[in-house]
Structure 1
Amino acid sequence: MLKSNDALFFSAAFNHAPIGMALVSASGTWLRVNRSLCDILGYPEAELLGRTFSDVTFHEDRGTSWENFNRLIEGTINIVKLEKRYVHKNGHLIWVAVHASKVMSEPTGTPYILAQIQDISDRKKTELLLHNSEKLSLVGQMAAGVAHEIRNPLTAVKGFLQLMKSEGVKEQYYDIVFSEFHRIELILTELLVLAKPQEAKMESKDLNQLLAEVVTLMESQSIMSNVRIRFTCALPSIYIDCDENQIKQVVINLVKNAIDAMPDGGETLIDLQLFGDEVQIVVSDQGAGIPDDQLEKIGQPFFTSKENGNGLGMMISFKIIENHGGRTEIESQVGEGTRVKIRLPLGQNQPPSARAGDAAGCGSNA
């Protein structure tokens, strides 16, 4: 329990703090607020007291706010640091950084939340300006890349049409012209995927089975390229919440890249592992590897190390994994090969057979 001098010091520090301060009950009601918080929200103290923090929280942020608040009260976490939006009394939104922790009343043991609230609206405006500037820069890069990628096949088509006019029609000219038109079509199709991605249809899927289907699908191409695909996994079933077709698209793209990286044949390994509340997919090859100066550019539009590539496949793959709450990491060693690691959140529902160390039924080769 605070001594009288300590209580006076705390009260003075609370009331005169340069950032918002609030003492909140276990039900979310503001019991005490300081002048700085009243200035941030535009309410007099009397209007805030007795309300819950949810009353002035922007509706889209209420769910996350209550979730973190309840975890604090229950003691599953010790501190909360988050950025959220409040609604000012006059109606405009305010971005704030909230730092909150639980304190216990003595001797009753009643839990309260002590919150520090800082107005970060100016910082958010600056971040938005920078973000928009980066978007404009990216649009410029994309436009230049599109012009370059499409100009090459159009130049070829134009040249062969001129040859047809001067030398007459030859069968091989048709093949080349159609091939170049097909290349333009592929570029435009992938650009449309980036511009207007399909909405993910999230379902609980067995990632083990999904990857096995990809191995089967890629079997004929791997055999023709003298490449062996080996699939290993840690468990017979690992479930994630995903759009099955989008995840397949990513893995197929990675396997194709691995096969292309080994023109003289070799082995591609797909490894599936469990890491706590995440699952990891690793696709590795025995190719020539990627130099460091090129490795950091992978995923950028129209950057590719392949003669007939356009770089959009990896950009789309990165975006799909990001939309699934995951992340992608690429490791490569010149002369030894490349490893692409994908981490995804583990699904909420796992079957009883998904036990650590039980690897029965895993593995596939093509």
Structure 2
Amino acid sequence: MSSFETYIENSKRNCSELYGLDPEVIPKLKVGLTEEELERKKEIFSSVLGIVKHFMQKLIYYMDGTPTLVIITDHEGSVLDIYGDPSIKEMVDAIDLKVGAQFLEEEVGTNSVSLALRHEEPIALIGNDHYQQALSGVACYSAPFAYFDEGGLAGTVSMMTLIDYASQFHLGLLSSAVDSIERELQLQKQNEQLQLLNQVLINSTPLGIVMTDNYGSVLEYNTAAEEITEIPKEFIYETGIGQIAEIENYINQALMNGEKIENKEITMIMKDGQSKVCHLDVFPLFSEGQIIGAFAQFRDMTQYHELQKQVVESEKLSAIGKLGTGLAHEIRNPLTSIMGLTQLLQENNQQNKYLEIITDELERMASLVNQFVILGKPTDIQRESCDVNRLLSNTVELMKSNTRLQNSTITFQPSQYNLETQIDPSKIKQVLINFIKNALEAMPNGGEVVVDSALLEETEEVHISIQDNGEGMTEEEISQLGKLFFTTKENGIGMGLPICFDIVKAHLGRVEYDSEKGQGTQVNLYLPVS
């Protein structure tokens, strides 16, 4: 006796002795799933059902002339899909076969679905192999299929036809189709895993990545590309890579010529007018010798370029400092002699006004020399505990003598908190004098300078602001502040602020400017509380 025959005999015995089923009663399938459960099952099996339908419709096509009904169930025997020849509809209606119904041996007797699930192999029941006589006119073939990682059964694919069309080859055809279905499902799963891995790799890299087809339509645009270009991927997918003309030109070049482009420097202008420098590589993609698309990757090199500029600027400053120090020592000696002799002449010369002019200019030269000397040396600070409010008050009082000459006023609004911190008072006073002097000079027709202080508890900083209602500055002028020899003053030499910035930097502080042309300027000095 074959294993098929044994399976069928045992099943029929269970139907008779264990379940007490009457073979003359037409079996009725009961609905085992609620609508919500059915929808959830369909969602889980959506990709499976699509692939099964594709292969089974091909099988039905090759079995032209054989009325065939295809039934797909899950691992519990619940029907998930039915399609095929409507000529068997009468039989289907008789046993209430519909989506959501369940094949249970204790309910419908011996059936190929239950046997295939139980024994995990293809089963054929033809005519009287069924327990119920109502099914003696049909042939049913069921084959289980596996899909999930656990290796358990995912469900069954079954064919039902009239007994007149039964053939020993049908089970073999069904088994072959199910083998193809399993291979396709496995391949699809591998592709999904590879796609997921590709997405993780593409979206975790700091490189901006753009992939196009051979027409230039965007297929891939990763997270880094969004961040660098500041253009959302949805917008790029909708409008195309033309939104980034700097990249589009090279992609088109690669698609037309089939040549790779490497390490090309491009500059992208952002919406706010700022620019980003990027290095770009573009590679054409080939399949069987034909260009099928392009792959572009680019990296933001803006910070690197800024660092290079800072290094060059630092080298320039170092060279200037060395030159200035040497030059200053050479100039200082004759200056000292000239100033001394001029003072002697003033005691006996009636043309003192000319000598005063000479003396003023010589003192200006001496000041210039001193600034060169300071600029050429590293900033050395001697920290000590200092009351910032008192330092500000003394500095403001000192500068009030300058305000009378310029028809201006200066007021100090101290913080209510004790602003005690470790700084070099003389160096910070030098910075404050410079900032206040600049504020007064920015108001040639008079005005008001307001100095105030505050404690920023969140950042643990002392905040000092110096605000004037003078001429103000443009954004371009603000961006140049602190660069050696840059000045907005007619008689300025552009060395005061670089020295001040170095002093603040040595204190681990920072300086920020808030200014608008014609609206005045506010200098914000931040020093850490220590």
Give TM-score scaled by structure 2 length: 0.35
Larger radius of gyration: 2
Give TM-score scaled by structure 1 length: 0.50
Greater RCO (Cα-Cα under 8 Å, separation 6 or more) = 1
Q: Pick the structure with more helix per residue.
A: 2
